[in-house]
Chain A
Amino acid sequence: EAQVTQNPRYLITVTGKKLTVTCSQNMNHEYMSWYRQDPGLGLRQIYYSMNVEVTDKGDVPEGYKVSRKEKRNFPLILESPSPNQTSLYFCASSLSWDYNSPLHFGNGTRLTVT
């Protein structure tokens, strides 16, 4: 089944404890990205990647890191999480960075930082 897989689905952690949210797609998509969704603010892009070893900042990259060592994987790293990073996170992929390639989303990671 073609899909984008995120793990974990739920995560509760404490301030400053490094964590990684994994994202993997099995559709050979070139483009991958991370979003956070907060009430009233909609989905905001954190980082995106057009291909292996190519990553760029989105609108809200502060406090996050990503890597794209393989085409299928695009982990999101929080080196020192803070409470303002409590949010619902989505990973997404797209066939290519070309026009009219829609995004396919993972089923989300709900992160709480205390």
Chain B
Amino acid sequence: RKEVEQDPGPFNVPEGATVAFNCTYSNSASQSFFWYRQDCRKEPKLLMSVYSSGNEDGRFTAQLNRASQYISLLIRDSKLSDSATYLCVVNHEAGNQFYFGTGTSLTVIP
């Protein structure tokens, strides 16, 4: 079983739409959770960390559900510039490995 699993999509949504991605992780001892954004052939960039109580950054909201072992990312009022691949990242042991999902592709359509 993979450490981290994501629906690869693609998600094609119109501008202004709300879209949500989920990511499941297999290790219940996981401690750190992040969402990254990756544009085609470029390096992943941190979008936001995910905290236990959930957190929001502008149009982006991240949530953590430890009982069901998933994290989610909600994007409100989608912009064309949100088109990218979104990666979830999990670290379940300090000083150890980071595990990446394979990414969810989002295209925002005019």
Contact = CB atoms under 8 A, between A and B. Distances in A.
Interface of A: 31, 33, 35, 40-45, 48, 50, 58-59, 88, 90, 97-108, 110
Interface residues of B, number: 23
Interface in B26-74: 31-32, 34, 41-46, 49
Contacts of A100: 31-32, 49
B42 A107 contact: yes
12 contacts: A31-B95, A33-B98, A42-B102, A43-B100, A44-B100, A58-B97, A59-B97, A90-B43, A100-B31, A100-B49, A102-B49, A104-B46
A41 B5 CA distance: 11
A65 B35 CA distance: 29
B89 interface: yes
Contact of B42 (A59, A97, A101, A108): A108
A43 B87 contact: yes
Contacts of B89: 103
Contacts of B34: 102-103
B101 A42 contact: yes
A50 B100 contact: no
Nearest to B44: A105
A102 B46 contact: yes
Contacts of A110: 41
Nearest to A51: B95
A106 B43 contact: yes
Contact of A97 (B43, B94, B101, B102): B94
A97 B95 contact: yes
Nearest to A31: B95
Contacts of A88: 41
Contacts of A101: 32
A45 B43 CA distance: 15
B105 to A, nearest CB: 12
A42 B5 CA distance: 10
